[in-house]
Amino acid sequence: MKKICIILGTRPEIIKLAPFIKILEEKKKDFFIIFTGQHLYKNMTSIFLSFFNLNKIKYQLKFYPKKNKFFKFAYFKINEILKKEKPDIVVVQGDTYSALLGALSAQNYKNTLNNKLFICHIEAGLRSGDFSLPEEANRIIIDNLSDLLFCPTFMQKINLQQENIKKKIFVTGSTIVDSLKFVKIYKTSKVEDYYVLTLHRHELLSNQNKLIKTIKLINNIAIKFNKKIIFPCHPRTKKILQNKRFNLNNNFKICPPLDYKKFINLLYNSKLIITDSGGIQEEACILKKKIITMRNSTERPETVIVGANFLSKFKKKEMYNYINKNKLNYWKHPYGKKPSLKIYNYIEKFTNN
C-alpha cells in the first residue's frame, strides 16, 4: 500500500476512523493525518483523540469561528499539504465539512496528477432524501468525487447504484462496530432508570421555537414515564438552553460532553435513547438499545427496519406508543464484522495495481 492521507476534524470522524488508523499502525504503513479543527471546542475532540491514542496527527489546522472562513482557510491549507506530501491515497469519512473539504481538495490535487490518486470514502451511500440537511449534499458530492466507496449496508450500495455512480462500491459494514470494541462495557449493579438525550443539529438549534417545542415534548415524556433525562450537552446547545424561555426543570440532568467510554456505558445502561444524532443510531442498534430519533428523516433506515429506531417526526402520541411497546430487543444489527479490516484489504487490493 502506498502513502495515505487521512483527513478528519470532528468527534464522529475520530471515533469511526480510529480502528482503521490502528490497522495502518499495526501494519506499519506510510500514512499521515490532517486534523482540520472543524469542532470549535477542544473538549469535543481532544478527549477522543486521547481515548483512541491517536498521536500521529502531523498537521493540525487552526480553525476560525465563522464557517465560511473555516471552509476557505481549510481548503487552502489541505491543498497546500497535499502538494507537499504527495499522497497516493486520501481517505475521508462520513458527511462532515471536513470530509467534503478533504474530497474537494483531493480532487483538485488529483487533477494535476492525471488521475494518479485514489479518493476513498468510508461510510458512503447514506441518503435521507432531505436536502434541508446540509449533510445530504455533502454525502452526494463526496460519493461522486470518490474512487472507492465503502458502504455500511447493502441499502447504501443500492442508493449509489440508483444514482448511477459507476465507481468501485463495497459493502463493508460500519467501522463503529470496531470502535465499540475499544470500550469495556459494564452493567451497573444498581437499577438505572433514565433516558439519555442528545441534541446538537444545526437545523434544530437554529430554530428556537422548534427547539422549545422539542424540549417540552421530551419533558412531557419524562413526566409521563417517570424518568430522569440525562443530557450530555454540546457546548453550543448548552449556551442556547441558558435562555430563560427554555426553563428546564428537574427532569433534566445536564452534564458536559463525556469521553467515549463513559458515554457508551451511559447508553448501555439506559432505558431509552432520544437523539437527533446520526452515529448514535448505529451505536444504539449495535448495543440493542431502543432509540427515538428526533428528526423527520434518517439516513440510516436499516435501524428502523430492524426495530431498533423510531423516527419521531415530532409526533407525541406515536412516540408514547413506541415507548409503551414491550418489544424485546432481540434484533440483529446489520453493520457487519471487522469492517475496518475489510476496508483496509480493499484499499490494499485496488490501489496497488
Mean local confidence (pLDDT), 121-150: 96
182 grid coordinates:
475499544
Q: Show Cβ contacts of residue 308 under 8 Å, excluding neighbours closer than 6 positions.
A: 281, 284, 285, 288, 289, 290, 291, 329, 331, 333
Q: Give the pLDDT mean for 196-209.
A: 87
Which position has the higher pLDDT, 99 or 72?
99
The answer to whether 168 and 118 have CB atoms below 8 angstroms apart is no
Cα dist from 189 to 134, 186, 192, 258, 269, whole Å: 42, 9, 9, 21, 10
* pLDDT on residue 197: 96
**pTM of the entire structure?**
0.94
Residue of higher predicted confidence among 91 and 211: 91
> By the 8 A CB rule, do 275 and 169 touch?
no
| Residue 39 annotated in active site | no
> What is the rounded distance in angstroms from the CA atom of residue 43 to the CA atom of residue 14?
13
Where are the domain boundaries for CATH 3.40.50.2000 in the chain? 4-174+336-351, 194-324
Query: Rounded to whole angstroms, how far apart are CA atoms 124 and 34?
Result: 20
CATH class, 194-324 region: alpha beta
Residue 58: strand, helix, or coil: strand
> Bridge-partner residues for 317, per DSSP?
none
Checking if the pLDDT of 171 tops 60, the result is yes
Does the structure show a pLDDT above 70 at 67? no
d(CA 256, CA 263): 11
Q: Which of 39, 121, 200, 202 is catalytic?
A: 200
Name the CATH architecture for the domain at 4-174+336-351. Answer: 3-Layer(aba) Sandwich (3.40)
Separation between Cα atoms, residue 194 and residue 86, nearest integer Å: 51
Distance (Å, rounded) from C-alpha 154 to C-alpha 157?
Answer: 5
